[in-house]
Amino acid sequence: MFPPHPTELLHVLLESEIVTGDFAIDATAGNGHDTVFLARAVGATGRVVAIDIQQQALASTAVRLESEGLRERVMLHCGCHSDLAEIAGSDRPRAIVFNLGYLPGGDHDLITQTENTLKALSAASDILMPRGVLAVVCYPGHIGGDEEAAAVEVFITSLKAQRTARYSMILRDKTTPFLLLSKKSG
């Protein structure tokens, strides 16, 4: 649909940054939509690590990857994204994607938490390759989501980056999701 939702816009914008053979991380696998996008973008010679604290999310992501023939490009990791540096190993990712909040269709109490999210984002910005992209979709509409979204925006703004941007749809209230993008200095 036009104009795109921030989650759709994220894919459009990242498509031109990720090249075949790249390494990318989906820090919140959820139902696997972003993981599938990243797995396609890195191509047959690239690889993706997808992280989620819920086994249910990873199972859903695995099904989606299998149906697209992309399962072999992705390592699924059940754990917390604040351990992202250890999970990623020595490779430096071109892109790291966070899609905050809860698992659609899952337990709405299992949501990303501000302090932990900031820790994970800090690790993410450290391990990104030069000119790599950190992308975060924030959801201020649920309880705690507004505080998390505001803190994430402050964090992203504070990064020494080549370019930083914020995209959102226009709604009558302030609960609309928004996308933050930061391209690391080279």
Choice from 28, 96, 140, 177 touching ligand SAM (CB under 6 A): 28
105 burial via Cβ count (<10 Å: 0-12, 13-18, 19+): exposed
Choice from 6, 30, 132, 177 touching ligand SAM (CB under 6 A): 30
Contact status: 31 vs ligand SAM (CB under 6 A)? yes
Instruction: Mark 53-92 with x for binding to ligand SAM (rule: CB under 6 A) and - for no binding.
Output: xx--x----------------------xx-----------
Contact status: 24 vs ligand SAM (CB under 6 A)? no
Least distance from C-beta 113 to ligand SAM, angstroms?
7
Least distance from C-beta 145 to ligand SAM, angstroms?
10
Residue whose CB is less far from ligand SAM, 63 or 162: 63
Which are the contacts of 52, defined by CB distance < 8 A and separation ≥ 6?
28, 29, 30, 58, 61, 76, 77, 78, 103
Q: What are the start-end ranges of the E strands in the chain?
A: 23-26, 47-52, 74-78, 95-99, 133-138, 161-168, 178-184
Q: Are 113 and 43 in contact (CB under 8 A)?
A: no
Contact status: 114 vs ligand SAM (CB under 6 A)? no
Angle at 28 between CA 137 and CA 112, to 5 degrees: 75
Residues in contact with ligand SAM by CB under 6 A are 28-34, 51-54, 57, 80-81, 99, 101-103, 110-112, 116
